Amino acid sequence: MDNQTADPITLTLDGRSVTVPAGTTLLKAAQQLGEHIPTICYHDHCTANALCRICVVEVEGARVLAPACVAQVSDGMVVRTRTERVERSRRTILEMLASTVDLSEAPEIQQFIGDYRAERGRFPEAGRREHPLLDDNPMYVRDYAKCILCWRCVQVCADDAQFTFAINFEGRGFETGIGTFFDRPMPETTCVFCGQCVGVCPTGALKPKREWLLQEGKTPDEIMEMTRAERRRRRR
């Protein structure tokens, strides 16, 4: 049933009553009230998968915290978005991210770390996600040391937008990462270099090639020559 025609649901969120269509997520209900719930993996144009868990909220009567990006409203539900339990959970997630991933180009996450007073050095013995930078095409570079596995790039490359399926998850546990099938260079995959994966990346793990070259100290003329020469080589 379309949300616009579904029966209305009334719930209480942070002490305020709100009425929304059935099927609405807690995140959207909060937005209707002007309440901000932090998100990392969520994107308005991608399928929500509740991977990062930064958006968890406390639902009265529930045993565990609920991810607001996928949890749907129910009549009479009582939701709290900034309890001590919720803030402790969000803080811990941020601390774990900071201990393993290079967040230097993730300004939104950096802001969350400050907002929730997260200790960047809380887990000093945690393993760092170290990956060599992949520069295998003229359009963008892949620096998976900055990847938080939000899945946005995989989604837009697949069913959410492009339907090219050039990248996917690989590995398990701490070794999970994003890669191409059989670890082929990007030009040898089904990638059409649309740039949508770069556009939805929240951490700079995927970056336009020219932007990266500028940061590496190359001049605009050098960049034009390098990328043009690379494209010519690829076409041969």
Instruction: Give residue-wise pLDDT tens across range 124-135.
Output: 999 898 899 999
The span from the CA of 226 to the CA of 86, in Å, is 49
Give the pLDDT confidence of 197-215 residue by residue, as tens digits.
999 999 999 999 988 888 8
Instruction: State the chain's maximal CA–CA distance in angstroms.
Output: 65
| Count of alpha carbons within 13 angstroms of residue 236, beta-carbon side | 6
**Helix 84-100 with 107-115: angle, nearest 10 deg:** 130
Of the pLDDT bands very low, low, confident and very high (cuts 50, 70, 90), residue 5 is low
Listed in sequence order, the residues at least 6 apart from 170 whose beta carbon sits closer than 8 Å to its beta carbon are: 176, 177, 178, 179
Instruction: Look at domain 8-82 and name its CATH class.
Output: alpha beta
- What percentage of the chain exceeds 70 in pLDDT? 94
Residue 63: phi, psi to the nearest 5?
A: -75, -40
Burial of 212 (0-12, 13-18, 19+ CB in 10 A): middle
pLDDT exceeds cutoff 60 at 235 = no
Which helix (DSSP H) or strand (DSSP E) does residue 57 occupy? strand 56-59
Q: What's the pLDDT score for residue 173?
A: 86
Domain parsing of the chain, residue ranges: 8-82, 140-235
Query: The pTM is what?
Result: 0.86
Fold designation for 140-235: Alpha-Beta Plaits (3.30.70)
